[in-house]
Structure 1
Amino acid sequence: MKSNTFNYSMLAVGVAAVMGLSTGANAATPTGGTSGSFNVTNKATASYTVAGSDAPQSAESNVVTVNVKETGSFSLISTVVDDVKDDDFGKDRAINAQASSTVDFTHTLTNGGNVNDTYKITLANAGGDNFDYNLSNSVIKYQKVNAAGTNIGGEVTIANNDSIALAPGEKALITVTAQADTKRVADANGILTVTAESTYLKANTANTAPANYTAVNTDNALTKTPIYAITKSATTNLGNKNFDLNNTDAFVDYTITVKNEGNISGTAISISDDLPSGLVAIASGQQNYKAPSVTTSNGSAVGTAILSNSNKTITVAGQNIKVGETITVTFRAKKATDATSSSLFTNYAVVRDNTNSDANANTPDIIDRSDDGVTPGGLTESTYENTATPLIGKDDNTNATVTTTNQTRAIAITPGANKEVALVTPTTNNEVANTYTYTITNNGTDITEAAGTGDNDSSVKLSIKPTATRNNGIIDDPNINITRVYVDANNNGKFDTGETELVGVNGIYELNAATPFVTGSTTTRKGLAPGESVKIGVQVTTSGEGSNDPNSPQANVNNIGDFETLTLSIQPKGPVNGTAVPTSTSDNPLSTTSTTTMQGVNLAKYQIAADCGANPAVSSAAWSINNATATAAQCIFYKLEAKNTFTDTAKVINNLVVSDTLDDKLTYQANSFSASPTATNQSLGQTIKVTFATVNAGTTANVVFSAKPSQTGTNQ
């Protein structure tokens, strides 16, 4: 998982300018005899439709602010030192995966103004991460220093929402010790916001927006834990998976490999294997005996494999395994004395680890099995694997199953498709626009699949669930939803009258319900005979929005580029007539994915404060969404950038209307308007409204104009 980068917040000349405070350095020179100041904020809006759709779409730009004349300042800067290596951003702290782990974050609060001030310090859990911190158990300490860096007094402990008093030029070196109570997966990140609120700025400004008197830092901790990828394979004395119960010399050679794919070493782990009812390990002195072996890829001491008295369990204890290293265990088994074709011949390797004590694995907090599942015997896995990155720590027991029959099982699902769709699903013909169709085929021999339902071993479930979104740790996008799953009998991508709609529970459907009825029956379905297939349709609708304004009533979110990946997996319940559950192969995959991505118009607004004159070039590097500083004699140049974010060339934006209403402290500058490509219509003045007939996929429509600020009636 890619870690979240830090967001440094500095409430300096830009915000303080609103408050009427002098900053000293970089302070703007008053003009016209005035000593007050004001700020100008505005944004742009757009409406449009997407080719092939009559649904209205909308977008809002970011809010841009021009602060005319600087005044006072303060800053809150994160000073975290990187202690997570090989990350993308170098600003993560490490935290153990177990509950009640803590992590330290450090910050520097500086009074850069010329007045005494107090700053309320507030901790809060941020959204969009994987876990929260227990704020009541978190500790805030600070050491005050003067401008020369000399300590003032000793270290002070304060509670959440308490304040720190600083004179001009003084700093507070803050340490936040945050505690996460819950267990977390590897690479799970927790984001904490630390906010400083200036008492003086809040009390002395006419504009009471929090952005004018607060500064926010974003802290991130990354969970560190071993993750074990366990692979188990079996080969019989025939060199395949066929175990002949009538052959007294039959045996099975098992190989277990354990690789640490986490981000920290494992210490004193144990590896064990409980043999099922049909097998026992071959002990020393018995026919076909082969001594168990333990080898390691790091060249460390080789461990010892211990057989239980009944020869039903093999255990290797006390193994250390660094990140990227592998331990391999081999042993040999034969059929049990009372084994029959109905006996079990599937078994699993289990890794146990106590990441807290690391002395032994007797009380593990990690229990990981070689099939990533829960055994019928009741062993519940407890790993730190991240389901959003399933290739990390992926276990594989598929090659460890031996069979005593000639029957074969193979079920395949066709590959999914990825689609770009509008933010809002069209109100007409949406079955074609947002429908995915999959074909499920029984490629086995002599076995009918999905003949049963419920907990019957012959049942086959179809799981259709969201598994990934744009946001790490979130697997279900609330703006992308499955609205219908059905049997697409005529394969036209639409739900037609007479077609069967499937009803699932928590995204799990019975594949049996998609198969034809038994001849002459209206209650019993026959399942999928070898060679038969069924087509499944999945309808997906979207309800996204396109606002870049965090204060917008549109839900404070821009959903452009948001996506949701659906994973469809075929889940056979159990063995049928002695033949084990089929495994997923390249020829017969049991799962596939489809990704729905919302696209549309991404509207952004940029500004430049400069002397009045010709418009800056559209491509100028000076355009910025950040706060700017201007005098009353200067002009503010604006650029509205409306990008068609679709990559599908068929997704043309039609009738794009870009609008912008200027703040009443601004005066539109005549003859400053330009548009590219050429607009089909425009209305100019305090309200600018520009129409573009079409905007092709991946291209951008730009509007540039200027306005002049006026201080009349606005000074404090």
Structure 2
Amino acid sequence: MTSNAFKYSVLAVAITTSLGVASTANAAKSVGDSTPTIDNIATATYSIAGIAQTPVESNKVTVNITQSAAFSLTAKNVDGDLTDDYNKLAVVTPKGRVAFNHTLTNSGNVEDTYTLNLAQGGDIPNNPQGAGSYDFATTNVTYTIYNADGTEKSTQTVTGTVFQNTNIVLKPNERADILVSAKTSGNIGGDSQNLTLSATSAFFTASDVTKATLTNIDNSVTKVPVFKITSKVSSTLNLNDPTSKVTYTVTVRNDENAPYAANANNIMVFDGLPAGLRLADQPNISVSNNATITSGNEGKGTSSASDSIRVTLLNLAPGQEATIKFDVQKDQAETLADLKTTLNHAAVTLDLGENQIIYDTTDANDTQQNTANFYPSTDDSEITDGTVNTVIGSDSTAPLVSNQRAVSIVSPTKKEIPTTTTANTLVTHSAVISNTGKETEGDAVGEIKLTITSGSGNKVTVVAGSVELVYDADNNPATPNTTYTITRDGNGDYDLSTAIPKNGAPAWTGMVPNSTVTINYQVESNEAVVGTTENTTVTLVVGGQDAPTTGDRLVRNETTVKGLKLLKEQALNETCAASSTLTFTQGAVAAKPGNCIVYKITAFNDFSAADPRFTFDNVVITDTTARFNDKAIIQSASTTYVFPVKLDDVTSNSEIPATNSYNASASTSAISGTVTSLAPQKYAAMVFAVKLNPAGSTTP
């Protein structure tokens, strides 16, 4: 701030006073004359002849004395205007100290006593009294009295409280320099506060009270650095990778948008990392503006790792900004409490003197923050979501997002399929995606994708448009799961983020931690070969930020072609006796003309599961007679050998049907019968006998 100095023309005042003209000269000077008199009369007494005579007085002689009283009170700060009675625009910090200089001069020819006082406020044009004031108890006033020849006569320093009603005696042409080292109180940036110094002359109080008191008004404006602190983080932190690191950039700006901003010297910046973070192995710490930066172990963690930085010797004029950078990684010895909104706070400290220290931080919950003592309440605020804060003196910090992703695909399935499927006999395979990490998965494009590929045999293939997701958010059987459809994109991938709700399910928002998604899809077959097996491969493709590199990434689902198995066996009955013990075999039998051969045909439903879709209906078992023409005669009830055709359910392929419950019969062309229903893993058998013709005969 600039200070004000007052200069007054003594000559002009003296002239106008002597001429009896009403003076408009500077109010900080008073001049007056008085004319005391000395009247002198002599007396004498005498006697004659010892007798007293009448006393005698002489004539009166008169001496008229002219007394000239004058004093001035001058404001001496250099403030750009030396013609007023004000010390204006002196700069002070909140609750700081400011110097006001004054001179009280006795310019008359009589000794005078002056009573000095300080008072709050005072009216200065264009410099109104603001919210601040002065603390007289801590204000110091030094007054030094000088002789007429300029040599120092005495000096004394007292508090502003003690200074009140101080009397100073000045002889003609003596002066007193008065230094008011004023301590402000209750003032914040932008405030203006006034102080009045008055001097009252004892001489004029007695002779002309209108000229008895002179005043100077002191004015200071409050200026203070205004800090705008911003903390940003470069990327996410991958907790699956111990070497993963992020870069913090902290900027400190002396906000020039505050009209009361002032230079700041020897700023200190401190950043103590939250528990769970430490400076990286190679932290790359740096600071601009020729400041000094050091690392330390003063963060909130408890391990021995370096987890803090401190910047000192930082100077910022209004509009200047300093940039601080350092790399951070996970402290493996500590737990990071909040993986998604970890906040790293920076704090700025500036010692203004007079025990006034600004503490500004990005942490609104920090009880040490005291900017309300220095700035208007609207000129400091904190934002913790990383967005831009445009308010004067605003601070912001961005949350650190830490990712701990873990996903895998498990639970391959084995299914059986008919040789040729219809819409009712398609087979559903599945695979399970498990989110065992701490992040939501599959809510962003490209984060979780699948590919489903058929085997090389190309007889068992995936049914287009059949892929569904069944989402289990909590692994609680009591909570219903939700179902979604998903289609393949142009690259042949199924992206979970494109899942479409089905059956009233809510919109897809991804897999929360500890949830599962079951991938269901159908396969179909086309003239596949019974007994063959084909695989479909479901591959999990994990992308996005901090994609995990461990965990199962594919399952192979196995599809085995199943159907009706037919086993034909024969047994030699040499005597053709109905009671003969028969031994069936698939191998060749050595028989002689006239022997009998018993054939057994066993039908088996090879599907292993009790799936009603795979129960065979109307299984027709046939053996044509053309194979026996001119070689053997089929035996029946009408032949000598009584061994009729029988077809019935049996428990295994070694059992002979006991009855002909399915009414098998022999005709001139075939032996056949129809099993009305054959469930999975069930058997039915048909037997009949032939008698070999005698050697060389076409008849038995």
TM-score when normalising by structure 2: 0.38
Structure number with larger C-alpha Rg:
2
TM-score when normalising by structure 1: 0.37
Higher relative contact order (CA 8 A, sep 6+): 1
> Comparing both structures, which one devotes a greater share of its residues to strand?
2
